[in-house]
Amino acid sequence: MLVPLFTCTATNIPLLYIGAKPKFVDVNPATLNICVDDLKRKISERAKAIVCVRYGGLLCDMAEIRALADQYGIPVIEDAAHALGATYDGRPIGSLSEFTIYSFQAIKLVTTGDGGLLTFLDESLAPPARRLRWFGIDRTDKQKGIWENDITQIGYKYQMTDIGAAIGLAGLEEFDETLAYRRALYRRYVEHLRGVPHVKIVDDFDRRKSHAAWLFTILVEERRRCELKLRSHRIESGQTHYRNDRYSVFGCKDAFPQMDSIDDKYLILPLHTKMNLEDVDRICAVLKQGW
């Protein structure tokens, strides 16, 4: 499995459950997503799938990734935990790859308290997916009172609760408004910070991609001093994710020069619905002062 180096471990640890071997691909420093050039170097006939994450809501280079997957006859598995509402070349997330996984964890764009959603292009996969999410049991037959149905695969307890589903449905009703608001905050950051010499925005501004605006990330020198400067103005910042090769559970000893080049530079700025455009203006004014 060819997988992203920089992501929440929730992207890659499930592969260990099934005995798959993740092979990390270096980041594209402009986006913090999977680097297509490194992917091309590492893909081989042994590859079973390409796994990619949409860091912060910014999409990967899907045309290039899709072409590689088709060339090797393997599926693409998208971790779209950050990217609900994003599009690529006018097509919504969920319509691009064989498998797309969303997160509805507490701070995501839509929440059910925890949990998520799996979508796939092949409808024939729905029945086995439903069995796997509930101990391998055919729940439809069980509800009919048919107790003789067999369990042929090891399943899990991954079904959503009715309470979580109700919360999620309520969130969907206001999702378009929430997404538009977050995108407005994102654009305001870009207006102020694009071109500022000591601040680099993590975004390639590829016109094929529409951003879901879950995170706004910058690259800065002397990150700790920048964090302290922001903190002195009561502005929170930090790092949400960590490179997965440093976790011993993966047993990775490979070199990742592009990740190394930005490892001590990436910084996430506030982006949420409890702030307004004037808050963004104030944050950007502080950053423009330097540190």
Query: Domain extents for the chain?
Result: 2-115+160-288, 126-159
Query: Residue 217: what pLDDT?
Result: 98
Query: Residue 151: what pLDDT?
Result: 86
Tell me the average pLDDT across 158-176.
94
The 10s digit of each residue's pLDDT in 13-63 is 999 998 999 999 999 999 999 999 999 999 999 999 999 999 999 999 999
Q: Which of 11-15, 39-43, 109-113, 155-159 has the lowest mean pLDDT?
A: 155-159
Query: Residue 251: what pLDDT?
Result: 94
Query: Residue 231: what pLDDT?
Result: 97
User: Is it the case that residue 245 has pLDDT exceeding 70?
Assistant: yes
Query: Residue 147: what pLDDT?
Result: 66
Tell me the average pLDDT across 83-110.
94
Relative orientation angle of helices 175-193 and 162-173, to the nearest 10 degrees: 60
Query: Residue 146: what pLDDT?
Result: 65
Phi, psi of 201 (to 5 degrees): -80, 135
Q: How would you write the chain as a 3-class SS string?
A: CEEECEECCCCCHHHHHCCCCCEEECECCCCCCECHHHHHHHCCCCCCCEEEECHHHCCCCHHHHHHHHHHHCCCEEEECCCCCCCEECCEECCCCCCEEEEECECCCCCCCECCEEEEECCHHHHHHHHHHCECCCCHHHHHCCCCCCCCCCCCCECCCCHHHHHHHHHHHHCHHHHHHHHHHHHHHHHHHHCCCCCCEECCCCCCCEECCCCCEEEECCCHHHHHHHHHHCCCCCECCCEEHHHCHHHCCCCCCHHHHHHCCCEEEECCCCCCCHHHHHHHHHHHHCCC
Please, which pLDDT band fits residue 263 given cuts at 50, 70 and 90? very high
Query: Residue 141: what pLDDT?
Result: 73
Tell me the average pLDDT across 252-257.
96
The 10s digit of each residue's pLDDT in 112-154 is 999 999 999 999 999 999 999 989 988 777 777 666 778 888 8
Q: Which residues, in sequence order, are CB contacts of 61 under 8 Å at separation 6+?
A: 28, 33, 36, 206
Q: Which among 209, 212, 201, 208 is positioned nearest to 178, based on CA atoms?
A: 212
Cβ burial, residue 65 (10 Å; 0-12/13-18/19+): buried
- State the CATH architecture for 2-115+160-288: 3-Layer(aba) Sandwich (3.40)
The 10s digit of each residue's pLDDT in 179-230 is 999 999 999 999 999 999 999 999 999 999 999 999 999 999 999 999 999 9
User: Is it the case that residue 159 has pLDDT exceeding 90?
Assistant: no
Q: What is the pTM of this model?
A: 0.92
